[in-house]
Amino acid sequence: MTAKRKTLKQIREDHEVETERAFQKGREHQKLIQDHQPDPVQEILNKREKHYGVYKEHTRITQHLKDDMCDSPNWNILTSDQKETLEMVAHKIGRILNGDPNFIDSWDDIMGYVKLTTNIIKERS
């Protein structure tokens, strides 16, 4: 039995089909790789949750603290730097109350914000 010879057109068509199959396999392989790649943002969020607790609860605590500050008699006479420092301190307190109270960075951050504002107050005096 003799083998039937393919025409040039058939060879090209076969090549196109094989090329498309190879590209499709490559795309499928790339998708599998991407699907199994860790999400860098989620990794950061997971790490932060270990230190600061569940974000939704942190926001609840922090917003209550900030609401109480805004309702205080002196809030409207504070300068923007004083307000911002108090809000950032409330944010850090919320993290401490909701997360790891022994995470030293939270305490250091509070001291840093307070120091910035005391420096500004001294400059104004």
Give the model confidence (pLDDT) of 33-63 as tens digits: 777 788 899 999 999 999 999 999 999 999 9
Please report, for residues 16, 59, 79, 118, the alpha-carbon distance to residue 112 in angstroms, rounded to integers and kept in the order given. 65, 22, 18, 10
Helix (H) or strand (E) holding 21: helix 8-35
Assigned domain for 17 exists? no
Q: How many domains does the chain have?
A: 1
Containing structural domain, residue 76: 57-124
Please check whether residue 97 lies inside any domain of the structure: yes
In a domain, 108, yes or no: yes
**36 falls within a domain:** no
Q: How far apart are CA 54 and CA 61, in angstroms?
A: 11
Distance of CA 85 to CAs 69, 113, 114, Å? 12, 6, 6
Q: Pick out the chain residues at pLDDT < 50.
A: none
* 106 is a domain residue: yes
At 51 the pLDDT is 95
pTM for this entry: 0.69
Q: How many CB atoms lie within 10 A of CB 90?
A: 20
Q: Would residue 20 count as lying in a domain?
A: no
Please check whether residue 35 lies inside any domain of the structure: no
The pLDDT assigned to 6 comes to 75
In a domain, 27, yes or no: no
